[in-house]
Structure 1
Amino acid sequence: MYIGFDTSNYTTSIATYDGKIIRQAKQVLTVKRGERGLRQSDAVFQHTVNMPRLCKELEFDVPKAVGVSTRPRNVDGSYMPCFLVGENVATVLSSVNNVPMYKTSHQVGHILAALYSADMLELINQRFIAFHLSGGTTEALIVEPDDEEIIKATVVAQSTDLKAGQAVDRTGVMLGMTFPCGKELDALSKKSDKNYKIKPTMLDGDCSLSGVENKARNMIDKGELAEDVAKFVLTYIAETVSSMLGGVVDKYGDLPVVFSGGVASNSLLRKIINERYNAYFAESEFSLDNAAGTAIYAYLKDNR
């Protein structure tokens, strides 16, 4: 059995993996109503409180190895204090039981979890396209096998300003929803019978999403129905991601495409992408923040 830890900005997560089955325990962090996020100090505190309860809930034995996300992405300067909580717990567990600990990034964890959920883990042995869509990241990546890191993800297109998850959550908060707002906004959008034609703002393959927040605010101020605002925003994001993917395919070829990150669980995004491309999506529990990928990473590293 291998165990993984992930303490992202909004979810405390633990998972075990035996080479076949993932078991998980996780807790979404609490954000006060009307607020659009957490300070890092508050996130660290909540992770610290959540971790002992989740460890007890999962009831795991001594692992063969421990995996943990210690940074958002595998690039220089990528750092968030909240990841220290998971790293500290993983370090203690590794040391006390004298088992290896393997460090990776939150992004790699997301990609591996998505591959597992889609039953496509064999893609780690070839080149493929991955999208990481969340509150902190809206990136298209070329992913390739790597002897040291299992996979190497290189950004080839991204949002130059607002991230997809930020657009979702800011719209949701404006509509009176509790942060994070993705699931509620998705459900609300299904009540709308409007269809929107969107022209994404693109430049050299990158996208800009700042306009969608301003448009949503204007729609709300004009008294437009909340479900129509929700559908507009999610359609805008989906069409933008579709344009990004089209540009990546044109440049790098018709490679397998895998979607990860919380925004990738949105039903409208999945519908639009699946109508146009042959893409793999993770189940919701493996799209949203989770530690499954870090447990898988420990397994893959330990069995090299």
Structure 2
Amino acid sequence: MNYRLGIDTSCYTTSVAIMDDSGNLLADVRKVLTVKPGGRGLAQSEMVFQHTRNLPLVFAEAMAQFSGPVRFKSVTVSNRPRPLPGSYMPAFLVGEGYGKVLTVSQQIPLYKISHQENHIWAGRWSADGPKGTDFLAVHISGGTTEIVKVGIGSSQQMSIDLLGGSLDISAGQFVDRIGVALNLPFPAGSHLEKLADCGRSGLCKVPVAVRNLNVSFSGAETYVRRLLAQGEPPAALAAGVQLCVAETLVKLMKQAVAQTGLTEILLVGGVSANQFIRDYLCRHSQGFSLFFPDSRYSSDNAAGCAFC
């Protein structure tokens, strides 16, 4: 049987995935990088160190899913954040380096895609759509808030055209910064979601900033910090942050649909795993269709690399 190996070494997760030619996921192993309590992220040198330490262990765990030796047909790695000239981040060099060693030793092809393309492929595989060759994708994570136009060519080549996104911090940074201010662990997404469930009835309304296809979260962050200093309940603030992100995304998607005429939208990235945000978007998606991957494949993973 032919097996395809995917490797992704992103800012906060070391990931390995193995699929067969039919797109069946046979191994999916990840290890989240360690951030010290109270920290708001990692330096690139620390990411490289942890990926270098993690990747052999993650790979060994993936291979333990098989009873004997595995011959790979190909290896695909994410080697940069986005499919743009000059897009670069040292953390991705770790996965690319391991990929080169494997492909040279087994004399098989090495394919390189961006982390963003990996997210979109994983989302399309998990959500089983969009089926069209042209669609919109919203990438909302700790480092990115973008809406893009995606084209899938006849040879399964992906093209991505940036339409808009955040002019300052990403939705994930907004969530993480407020989460840390509320004394939640970093990354704060899942912890803020649990806290917000307790503050829904008395949530603090947070202003939304959307102009055409551009959004902003820095003003919202300042506003929430001011309310926190005034003694507003943490749960109400967490709920307000979630609603702010959800309302921002609805307005952004409506603008993109109006400008492009495309009505299928795939949502990927860790922020899109938030169940409240998913439910809100579904309730306000008149005129377009939303595709959500399983929440496990919203966050960083290597399934997209193995699938494409």
- Answer whether TM exceeds 0.5 for this pair: yes
Q: Distance in 2 between matches of 1:265 and 1:41?
A: 28
**Contact 2:203–2:236, Cα closer than 8 Å, also in 1:** no
Quote the residue 2:255 is aligned against: 247
**Contact 1:31–1:179, Cα closer than 8 Å, also in 2:** yes
**Contact 2:130–2:291, Cα closer than 8 Å, also in 1:** no
Quote the residue 1:213 is aligned against: 221
> Which blocks of at least 5 consecutive residues in structure 1 are unaligned?
298-304
Quote the residue 2:73 is aligned against: 64
Correspondence for 2:151 among 122, 138, 144: 144
Shift, 1:148, TM fit: 7.0
The one-letter code sitting in structure 1 at the alignment partner of 2:125 is: Y
The one-letter code sitting in structure 1 at the alignment partner of 2:40 is: R
Shift, 1:162, TM fit: 1.0
Question: Structure 2 vs 1, CA of residues 118 and 165 (structure 1 numbering), >3 Å: closer, same or farther?
Answer: same
Cα shift readout 1:106-138 (whole Å, capped 9, x = no counterpart):
000000101111122744xx1100000011110
Quote the residue 1:48 is aligned against: 52
Cα shift readout 1:26-68 (whole Å, capped 9, x = no counterpart):
0000001111000000000000000111111011612110000
Is 1:276 matched with 2:278?
no
Q: Distance in 1 between matches of 2:122 and 2:45?
A: 27
Q: Distance in 2 between matches of 1:290 and 1:296?
A: 12
Is 1:114 matched with 2:116?
no
Instruction: Tell me how large the CA RMSD over aligned residues is.
Output: 1.4
TM-score (norm 1): 0.94
Q: Distance in 1 between matches of 2:191 and 2:168?
A: 24
Quote the residue 1:177 is aligned against: 184
Q: Distance in 1 between matches of 2:34 and 2:170?
A: 21
Structure 2 counterparts to residues 259-270 of structure 1, below 5 A: 259-270=267-278
Q: Distance in 2 between matches of 1:194 and 1:259?
A: 28
Secondary structure at the aligned position of 1:64 is classed as strand
Cα shift readout 1:136-164 (whole Å, capped 9, x = no counterpart):
11000110124677111111111000100
Deviating above 6 A after TM superposition, structure 1's stretches of 4 or more consecutive aligned residues are: none
Quote the residue 2:141 is aligned against: 134
Question: Structure 2 vs 1, CA of residues 82 and 147 (structure 1 numbering), >3 Å: closer, same or farther?
Answer: farther
Shift, 1:204, TM fit: 2.8
Question: Structure 2 vs 1, CA of residues 144 and 246 (structure 1 numbering), >3 Å: closer, same or farther?
Answer: same
Farther off after superposition, 67-76 or 266-275? 266-275
Is 1:237 matched with 2:215?
no
Is 1:83 matched with 2:92?
yes
**Contact 2:8–2:302, Cα closer than 8 Å, also in 1:** yes
> Which blocks of at least 5 consecutive residues in structure 2 are unaligned?
none
TM-score (norm 2): 0.92
**Contact 2:204–2:237, Cα closer than 8 Å, also in 1:** no
Quote the residue 1:17 is aligned against: 19
Correspondence for 2:264 among 256, 268, 273: 256
Aligned length, in residue pairs:
295
Correspondence for 2:5 among 3, 6, 12: 3
Farther off after superposition, 144-153 or 71-80? 144-153
Q: Distance in 2 between matches of 1:187 and 1:224?
A: 17
Shift, 1:197, TM fit: 5.2
Secondary structure at the aligned position of 2:72 is classed as coil
Quote the residue 1:38 is aligned against: 42
Q: Distance in 1 between matches of 2:209 and 2:233?
A: 25
The one-letter code sitting in structure 2 at the alignment partner of 1:151 is: M
Secondary structure at the aligned position of 1:49 is classed as helix
